[in-house]
Structure 1
Amino acid sequence: MKTEIDNTTVQSEGGYRAEEDGDETTTLLGQDGQVSSGSSSFMFSVFNLMNAIMGSGILGLAYAMASTGIVTFSILLLLVSSLAAYSVHLLLTLCDQTGLSSYEGLGERAFSKAGKVLVACTILIQNIGAMATYMFILKMELPPTISSFIKAEHSGVWYENGVDLLILATVCVVLPLALLPKIGFLGYSSSLSFFFMLFFAVVVVVKKWSVPCPLPVNSTLTLQISNSSVSDCNARLFIFSSKSAYAIPTMAFSFLCHTAVLPIYCELQRPTKQRMQKVANVSISLSFLVYLVSALFGYLTFYGQVDSELLRGYDVYLPHDVLVMSVRLAILLAVLLTVPLIHFPARKAMLTLFRGERPFSWLSHCVSTFVLIIIIELLAIYVPDIRNVFGVVGSTTSTCLLFVYPALFYLRVNNDRTRNSKFIGAVALMVFGVFVGLLSLSVIIISWAQAS
């Protein structure tokens, strides 16, 4: 690999990178030495990154607000989203300094081959866990959603079989999208996924006035969700309890998109550090607004009785409501469309581990795609409670990719130890990441102990 930083060209797997004086003119160059223009527009890049950010975790944010209070939740959500944007900034800064355009490459620059292997394994484990969890959700939730939507009686028809629906969705949706050669091509499906999430937020706002307060007495729901009074309709601004510990990991993982940042950066039209930072800022800001609105109105609908999965409350108090059934289907479709996007960095990590820096090959591309999908399908079908299986792994790998690795790599690559703002920010980000990881692990262990 050729590396010359001052006013020259740096070769990496993402092509050639020119570095002029000042950040504003730093661009990605193609193999012919001309300025590279990727296939993905600014808006499609925003949609792709938002699709990587938002998933089924949006259903748990109202419960997080009920555990922390409106003001505390808002402050924590703003803090976590700001730190996520800052960690993206550190990744892009490293790309700008080193000329590398992959997470694995940054790991290799910081810690030689061991760092590259560590990052690739972390991405692979985290993304396989996330995709398998999403597929498991589809297997469990899609059949009852379709049955309730068409008001069908249980009669053993094919669409009541979760495994059949999962295989059908994989063959018809996930596989064709995952086989695409570039992540930028997913802009259309990602925009559709974003509008599904936006539809969810709008329905939560509208249904705030459809559920009466005080809530009707329902012993099953009350025992499952809360020990608070059924007539409690007062929103609380600050709450500090043992349940508050669950909120921070939920919010932290709701902004995990860092494995997709650099692939999207490589395919951005007129790619510059500042342009990609704008993509990240817009994506995180819009996700923040959708998260905050849906969490706020979900909490103001059920108050202390909000469920850990928001839509369950509507199923009890608004059974067979067309909008609620539609939004449940929309969320499942959004989750389905997120799987191919997560698949791209997972496949990239797998190819990095087994093929190194060899040129693109359609054979390797297709084989790795099929292998990953088969692994994910088997996990989703045969593991009885996959969310618990990947709980510990997800809490550690997600925290590393979101907070710890960007900060650690920045501190390692930049030998200047003067206490400047970026150095202090990187240290603070790493400390916060370790704290969130340990907290997440503790929460999972405590949950298992209470359930046993």
Structure 2
Amino acid sequence: MEASWGSVNAERGWYVSAQQPEEAEAEELSPLLSNELHRQRSPGVSFGLSVFNLMNAIMGSGILGLAFIMANTGILGFSFLLLTVALLASYSVHLLLSMCIQTAVTSYEDLGLFAFGLPGKVVVAGTIIIQNIGAMSSYLLIIKTEFPAAIAEFLTGDYSRYWYLDGQTLLIIICVGIVFPLALLPKIGFLGYTSSLSFFFMMFFALVVIIKKWSIPCPLTLNYVEKCFQISNATDDCKPKLFHFSKESAYALPTMAFSFLCHTSILPIYCELQSPSKKRMQNVTNTAIALSFLIYFISALFGYLTFYDKVESELLKGYSKYLPHDVVVMTVKLCILFAVLLTVPLIHFPARKAVMMMFFSNFPFSWIRHFLITLALNIIIVLLAIYVPDIRNVFGVVGASTSTCLIFIFPGLFYLKLSREDFLSWKKFGAFVLLIFGILVGNFSLALIIFDWINK
């Protein structure tokens, strides 16, 4: 069960590297892991770039769906749920890092193997593959939908027949020219610079959402350029709700879980962190989750206060409808599309690693296999992005099933299985609460979403 630090792991097919941890925290490491860290020395990825990488893994298409969730839970209801999910996500990372130190393994899949043998490894790897494919397809779905519209807003006249306004054609070109080459990179740390660019795009998006709140009046009026007519006469529609629950509220917790999922990238980022230690990686995680929470909350709040009950399940659609040809909106739309696009290669890493660990764990690393698996994943996510009709379906189903497993259920279950602490200890009790919360939220949300589909 040895983890090969600082080299290509032939069984896992991914690169890891680490540097000697700070002396004050060296006692946190198991003897095996400590010996490997002392033996291998490499510069590693800085704290800042690791935060950007993790934020890029956290933030993506979820930011566009949270205003819709606030409209269906209310401001206070949304705030409580989002804070709860953020804190539980951070705590579950704490449990993962604790188990990583205790068992000297460096992958989520190997934690499943260590806890429940081969079935545990297969279940974890399968869950990671499904979740990451769902996440990447949701990002590409946004690109397919919004990129042609963003280009069209810069043009005058009828260009609808041209290839560069066809979403499917643009999607294929982007995946071949940008996503696939970046996903082929051997180390996740290489994406730190593109991740920092993605972070600033997200910041710009949140700033524009705040500014444009005062550019769209309420009651809402549609299409200022060609014709202007009021679509709502009720002044009550312009009053924010502190608490609100409807059948659409079933998508709240799954979407939030989807939005904070970064757990499949935690251990690869930890392996490449400069001066790695449990405390240092936990600080990276807490910083990334806190900044993501802030950007999520601000964009959701002002997005909701702009459109109220008329907010779209994908926030950018609202700005296209009510502020057509607005230069700032068109610019931020391109920025958010690039931010989402740059997240896709990052998620390729844990997805590809899970495939290799499930089917090729006993084979040496091969660039040909690396290339073919990356290509296969690219083809699958492109096909899903072409044929999935609504991004809310991806948020709901993937969030309620695989995201809750990876954030809540697996960390809690594995810690209960592997930890030698007394069951009444606070840490084990927290793991138990995490496990029960994940089971209840996942099953209840999935049942409500399926019931909603049946009624429709």
> TM-score, normalising length from structure 1?
0.89
* Aligned mates of 1:354, 1:221 — CA distance in 2: 58
Q: Deviations over 1:395-434 (max 9, x none)?
A: 3111111110011000011143430111110011111111
Q: Encode CA deviations 1:358-397: one digit per residue, 9 max, x unaligned.
A: 4433222222212222222333345666864785355311
- Aligned: 1:174 with 2:167: no
Tell whether 2:343 aligns with 1:354.
Answer: no
Q: Which amino acid aligns with 1:424?
A: F
**Is residue 93 from structure 1 mapped to residue 98 from structure 2 by the alignment?**
yes
Match 1:314 to one of 310, 319, 322: 319
From 422, 428, 434, give the equivalent of 2:439.
434
C-alpha distance in structure 1 between counterparts of 2:167 and 2:254, whole Å: 29
**Hey, what's the Cα distance between the residues in 2 that align with 1:228 and 1:420?**
57
- Confirm whether residue 403 of structure 1 aligns to residue 408 of structure 2: yes
Is the contact between residue 122 and residue 397 of structure 1 (CA under 8 Å) also seen in structure 2? yes
CA distance in 1, matches of 2:55, 2:420: 33
Match in the other structure for 2:46? 41
| Partner SS for 2:44 | coil
Offset, 1:2: 5.7
In 2, Cα distance between equivalents of 1:43 and 1:76: 28
Please give the alpha-carbon distance, in whole angstroms, between the structure 2 residues aligned to 1:252 and 1:109: 25
Counterpart amino acid of 1:398? S
Of 134-143 and 278-287, deviating more is 134-143
User: In the alignment, which of 80, 83, 90 is matched to residue 78 of structure 1?
Assistant: 83
Which position in structure 2 is the counterpart of 1:109?
A: 114
Equivalent in 248, 251, 256 of residue 251 of structure 1: 256
Inter-CA distance 148–344: structure 2 relative to 1 (3 Å threshold): same
**Is the CA contact (8 Å cut-off) linking 1:143 and 1:159 kept in structure 2?**
yes
d(CA) in 1 for partners of 2:245 and 2:65? Answer: 18
How far residue 33 of structure 1 moved from its aligned partner, in angstroms, is 4.5
Counterpart in 2 of 1:59? 64
- C-alpha distance in 1 between matches for 2:374 and 2:34: 28
Do the aligned residues in 2 keep the contact of 1:183 with 1:264 (CA within 8 Å)? yes
Matched residue SS, 2:237: coil
Q: Which residue of 2 aligns with 1:265?
A: 270
RMSD: 3.0
- Specify whether residues 353 and 240 from structure 1 end up closer, same or farther in structure 2 by C-alpha distance, changes over 3 A only: closer
1:188 aligns with 2:193: yes
How far apart are residue 320 of structure 1 and its match?
Answer: 1.3
- Measure, in 2, the Cα distance between the counterparts of 1:228 and 1:34: 71
The 3-state SS of whatever aligns with 1:232 is helix
> Offset of 1:132 from its aligned partner?
2.2
The unaligned stretches of length 5 or more in structure 1 are 4-11
Give 2:274's aligned amino acid. Q
Q: Call closer, same or farther: CA 1:45–1:419 in 2, change over 3 Å.
A: same
Aligned pairs for 1:367-378 (under 5 A) are 367-378=372-383
Q: Which residue of 2 aligns with 1:200?
A: 205
Q: Which moved more, 1:409-418 or 1:189-198?
A: 409-418
Q: Is the partner of 1:209 in helix, strand or coil?
A: coil
Q: Are residue 154 (structure 1) and residue 159 (structure 2) matched?
A: yes
- Unaligned stretches of 5+ in structure 2? 4-10
Deviation at 1:124, TM superposition (A): 1.0
1:297 shift after superposition? 1.1
Quick one: which amino acid aligns to residue 115 of structure 2? Answer: A
Deviates more, 1:442-451 or 1:275-284: 442-451
Q: Tell whether the 8 Å contact from 1:36 to 1:270 is kept in structure 2 after alignment.
A: no
Q: Distance in 2 between matches of 1:286 and 1:333?
A: 19
Identity of aligned residues (%): 59
Instruction: Tell me the residue number matched to 2:132.
Output: 127
Aligned to 2:290: 285
Change in 2 beyond 3 A, CA 1:391/1:233: closer
Change in Cα spacing, 1:221 to 1:243, as seen in structure 2 (3 Å) is: farther
- Equivalent of residue 447 in structure 1, options 444, 452, 456: 452
Hey, what's the Cα distance between the residues in 1 that align with 2:93 and 2:164?
41
- CA shift, 1:192, in A, is 1.2
Task: Please say if residues 254 and 403 of structure 2, whose CA atoms lie closer than 8 Å, have aligned partners that are also in contact.
Answer: no
Of stretches 13-22 and 155-164 in structure 1, the one that deviates more from structure 2 is: 13-22
Question: How many Å apart are 1:155 and its aligned residue?
Answer: 4.2
**Deviation sequence 1:145-178 (CA, Å, 0-9, x none):** 2111334523411201222211211122111110
Contact kept, 8 Å, 1:39 with 1:269, in 2: the verdict is yes
What is the CA–CA distance in structure 1 between the aligned matches of 2:168 and 2:423, rounded to whole Å? 57
What is the distance in 2 between the residues matched to 1:208 and 1:134?
A: 25
Name the SS of the counterpart of 1:154 in structure 2.
coil
Checking the alignment, whether the CA contact within 8 Å between 2:220 and 2:230 is kept in structure 1 is no
Alignment partners' CA distance in 2, 1:222 and 1:42: 50
**Aligned equivalents of 2:37 and 2:406: distance in 1?**
33
Instruction: Work out whether residues 87 and 406 of structure 1, in 8 Å CA contact, stay in contact via their aligned partners in 2.
Output: yes
1:251 is displaced (CA, Å) by 1.6
Name the CA shift for 1:19/1:420 in 2 (closer, same or farther; >3 Å): farther
Q: In terms of mean alpha carbon deviation, does 391-400 or 268-277 score higher?
A: 391-400
The structure 2 residue matched to 1:300, chosen from 305, 325, 328, is 305
For these two proteins, the number of residue pairs brought into alignment is 440
* CA offset digits 1:428-448 (Å, max 9, x no partner): 111111122113212321331
Question: Normalising to structure 2: TM-score of the pair?
Answer: 0.88
Separation of aligned partners in 1, 2:160 and 2:215: 32
Asked if the contact 1:35–1:270 (Cα under 8 Å) also holds between the matched residues in 2, the reply is: no
Offset of 1:350 from its aligned partner? 0.8
C-alpha separation in 2, matches of 1:384 and 1:68: 24
Q: Counterparts of 2:323 and 2:150 in 1: how far apart (Å)?
A: 14
